[in-house]
Amino acid sequence: MRILVLSDIHSNLEALNACLEAAPAHDKVANLGDIVGYGGSPNEVTVLARKLGGMLVRGNHDRACTGLMSMDDFNPVAAIAALWTMQSLTPENLQWLKLMPRGPLFLPLRYPHNQEETWAGTEQDGVQLVHGSPLDEDEYVLVLRDAQESLLRSNYPLTFFGHTHIQGGFAYDNDRWETLRPLYKGSADEVESWVLDLGSQAKYMINPGSTAIRGPHSASSILIATRSPSTVCLTIFRKRSSISSLRACRSGWPPGWRKDGSQ
């Protein structure tokens, strides 16, 4: 079976559509949050996320853009974008975003035996979904030391997390620690991929990267988790800036700010 993992779309409709076009066939969808914020298409992206369905966890921008958290810790760009998004969302989309569940959530990676059964399995059969970390939904797991406590305390062999927009992740295997980062050839116009076969005894925290683009050297990215009877193979796909420029918020930006929301 195949799970499509999306994260940090940030109202970027062009990037989301481009990533979905590049994605191979899949059985289920997991969304690691920050559906809105920054970009210019909050309603369109929310409608598409709702249509895709699957299992979702909320991100900090989803909470800020729906009034569930303070924006005191947001930088000026993020705060103004969140206010604009809150004013722009339809009541239906606003309510749906408000009701997004908090992580961590468990996603099985095992097929049911028949159509009457639900997707099921033990912790070893599935993955944990979070936005920041299993210990704190707002934590930024940027370097190996940030991931160590979560990996040591986790009963799950695999955790998908977002929030940082950095592809790759971290692994722990019998007192051996490792930072994982994708290696690409660097083509600007082609879909690239990086494949990681997971060890059977190790624990992993893996970030698919951001589906949105927030800079000329960034890349839109998604992850496909493929479960075979004995292994899980992760393939991270990315495509460079030619496919997904951030559109401007259509109103509400201060004079002198560029269309991507920066100064």
* Mean predicted lDDT score pLDDT of the chain: 81
Assigned domain for 248 exists: no
Going by pLDDT thresholds of 50, 70 and 90, the confidence category of residue 186 is low
What per-residue confidence (pLDDT) applies to 22? 81
Q: Read off the pLDDT of each residue in 181-207 and give the average, rounded to a whole number.
A: 78
Structure tokens at 97: 């975003």
pLDDT at 220 over 90: no
What per-residue confidence (pLDDT) applies to 263? 37
Going by pLDDT thresholds of 50, 70 and 90, the confidence category of residue 212 is confident
Q: pLDDT tens digits, residue range 48-105? A: 999 999 999 999 999 999 999 999 999 998 999 999 999 999 999 999 999 999 999 9
Assigned domain for 41 exists: yes
- H/E run at residue 29: strand 28-31
Domain that holds residue 85: 2-112+120-243
Assigned domain for 159 exists: yes
Q: pLDDT tens digits, residue range 119-144? A: 445 556 678 999 999 999 999 999 99
Q: What is the CATH number of the domain that holds 155?
A: 3.60.21.10
pTM of the model: 0.86
Assigned domain for 260 exists: no
Assigned domain for 8 exists: yes
What per-residue confidence (pLDDT) applies to 251? 40
Distance between CA atoms of residues 147 and 133, nearest Å: 8
- Provide the β-strand partners of residue 160: 129, 206
Distance between CA atoms of residues 63 and 78, nearest Å: 12
Assigned domain for 261 exists: no
What per-residue confidence (pLDDT) applies to 43? 96
What are 216-222's contacts with CB under 8 Å, separation 24+? 216/241, 217/241, 218/165, 220/12, 220/15, 220/18, 220/19, 220/244, 221/19, 221/167, 222/4, 222/5, 222/6, 222/19, 222/22, 222/23
Assigned domain for 257 exists: no
Q: pLDDT tens digits, residue range 106-120? A: 988 665 444 444 444
Assigned domain for 49 exists: yes
* Number of structural domains the chain divides into: 1
User: Phi, psi (5° rounding) for residue 108?
Assistant: -65, 150
Structure tokens at 238: 């990315």
Instruction: Give the percent of the chain with pLDDT over 70.
Output: 76
